[in-house]
A and B are shown apart, each in its own frame.
Chain A
Amino acid sequence: MIGVGKIKQYSNVLDKPLSKGKQEVSLSAFAFLFSELVQYNQTQVDNIAELERRLEDAGYAVGARVLELLCHRDKGNRRETRLLGILSFVHSTVWKVLFGKVADSLEKGTEHEDEYMISEKELLVNRFISIPKDMGTFNCGAFVAGIVRGVLDSAGFPAVVTAHFVPMEGQQRPRTTILIKFAEEVLQREARLG
């Protein structure tokens, strides 16, 4: 007899229908979870560079999965091959899905050919975080930098991604900039593609 009223059991998680991505949880639930992530990592490291690296690694895993999910669901399995394409994908689609809005700005670095910057007035993950003075330039946005690195790496655009605070005049809280420095091979490939 068919199991009336029972939730269908999928033997393989890959057989489950993919959700539309509209489900939401409260911001405070995410904030609590993120604060526990940071606190746990603080107990595992001795210095700030290690802490940033660990947060970045956590974000990297998220980024790789976000790319797979979005490519399949929103882009119909098409993949970006051009630099500007993947950057605008990160700046608009990824940001919109993860943080509910597109990133504030996407700029090309003036000093180096291989640098691009995504800026945000206040990163969602940093909203409830305050950095004590003795931690200097530590930025929990390293998690978001990791997400971006995960997306770019899995899409075939290896890069070094870091998060920085940029103080703005007239504003109390500094702006956060995600600095993306692409690897040499990406620029060479981009030049070849014309």
Chain B
Amino acid sequence: MAPVGPRTGDAIFSNVERVNAELFTLTYGAIVRQLLTDLEEVEEVNKQLDQMGYNIGIRLIDEFLAKSNVSRCIDFKETAETIAKVGFKMFLGVTASVTNWDADGTCCSIVLEDNPLVDFVELPDTCQGLYYCNILSGVIRGALEMVSMKTEVTWVRDMLRGDDAFELQVKLLKQVPEEYPYKDDE
């Protein structure tokens, strides 16, 4: 039997169980609020959000690979496209687009116009340095690290700071070859 081809983000999203986005948004808001109360420093909160995203990402990649049936991506360009079109759609129900490729093909921007994390959110003046959606950068970093790509993910545009979209810059630092836990010749 021929192997099943990769499924589109829409097809997967309509097959998974879904919950109301508002519960998701409000829960995320509660998390950020708790972090702000506990840690008080905006930089600390950013780091903690990134760490939480990383923890999610390393587990999320398994589910992603299991449900989406994508074959191995040939290069980083395909990886970024898959994240934007399939990954974001599958989990958050929104599609992102990939732009701003650099000459090497190792750095690109993922642009999100619609972001369920930030419905109803406004940043007060006391939290101006906060990257509210920093969990997303951690998720991407964690997921890619589990498929042997070390990346650096930073925010370029943030709608909560007055920009017109959310833009994440994903930069491939290096491909880490898979390490086997045993030696072949033993």
Q: How far apart are the CA atoms of A33 and B122 in the complex, in Å?
A: 21
Q: Are A58 and B31 in contact (CB under 8 A)?
A: yes
Q: Give the chain B neighbours of A65 by CB distance below 8 A.
A: 26, 29, 120
Q: How far apart are the CA atoms of A44 and B39 in the complex, in Å?
A: 11
Q: Are B22 and A29 in contact (CB under 8 A)?
A: no
Q: How far apart are the CA atoms of A79 and B102 in the complex, in Å?
A: 56
Q: Are A30 and B27 in contact (CB under 8 A)?
A: yes
Cβ-based interface call for B17 (8 A): yes
Q: Give the chain B neighbours of A36 by CB distance below 8 A.
A: 31, 52, 55-56
- Can you add 14 more A-B contacts, CB < 8 Å, to A9-B162, A32-B59? A7-B113, A7-B165, A13-B121, A13-B122, A23-B116, A24-B20, A24-B21, A25-B91, A30-B24, A33-B28, A37-B30, A39-B55, A40-B31, A66-B26
Q: Are B24 and A33 in contact (CB under 8 A)?
A: yes
How many A-B pairs fall under 8 Å by CB? 118
Q: Give the chain B neighbours of A30 by CB distance below 8 A.
A: 19, 23-24, 27
Binds B, one of A85-93, A96-104, A133-141, A177-185: A96-104
Cβ-based interface call for A76 (8 A): no
Tell me if A's interface is mostly helix, strand, loop or mixed: helix
Cβ-based interface call for B18 (8 A): yes
Q: Are B21 and A25 in contact (CB under 8 A)?
A: yes
Q: How far apart are the CA atoms of A36 and B50 in the complex, in Å?
A: 12
Complex interface residues of chain A between 99 and 118 (CB less than 8 A to chain B): 99-100
Q: Are B164 and A26 in contact (CB under 8 A)?
A: no
Q: How far apart are the CA atoms of A40 and B35 in the complex, in Å?
A: 9
Q: Are A59 and B30 in contact (CB under 8 A)?
A: yes
Cβ-based interface call for B92 (8 A): yes
Range class of the B interface residue count: 35 or more
Contact with B along A49-69 (1 / 0, CB 8 A): 000001001110110011001
Closest to A12 in B: B122
Q: Give the chain B neighbours of A7 by CB distance below 8 A.
A: 113, 164-165
Shortest CB distance B65–A (Å) = 13
Complex interface residues of chain B between 21 and 56 (CB less than 8 A to chain A): 21-24, 26-31, 33-35, 38, 48, 52, 55-56
Q: Are B30 and A62 in contact (CB under 8 A)?
A: yes
Q: Give the chain B neighbours of A44 by CB distance below 8 A.
A: 38
Q: Are A23 and B31 in contact (CB under 8 A)?
A: no
Complex interface residues of chain B between 164 and 186 (CB less than 8 A to chain A): 164-165
Q: Are B27 and A33 in contact (CB under 8 A)?
A: yes
Q: How far apart are the CA atoms of A33 and B113 in the complex, in Å?
A: 21
Q: How far apart are the CA atoms of A40 and B53 in the complex, in Å?
A: 12
Q: List 26 A-B contacts (CB under 8 A).
A: A6-B164, A7-B113, A9-B162, A13-B121, A24-B18, A25-B93, A27-B16, A27-B17, A28-B63, A28-B91, A32-B56, A32-B60, A36-B52, A37-B27, A37-B30, A40-B31, A40-B35, A57-B34, A58-B31, A61-B26, A65-B26, A69-B22, A69-B120, A98-B23, A99-B19, A100-B20
Cβ-based interface call for B119 (8 A): yes
Cβ-based interface call for B108 (8 A): no
Known: A7-B165, A19-B119, A36-B31. A26 touches B52 (CB 8 A): no
Complex interface residues of chain A between 121 and 151 (CB less than 8 A to chain B): 124
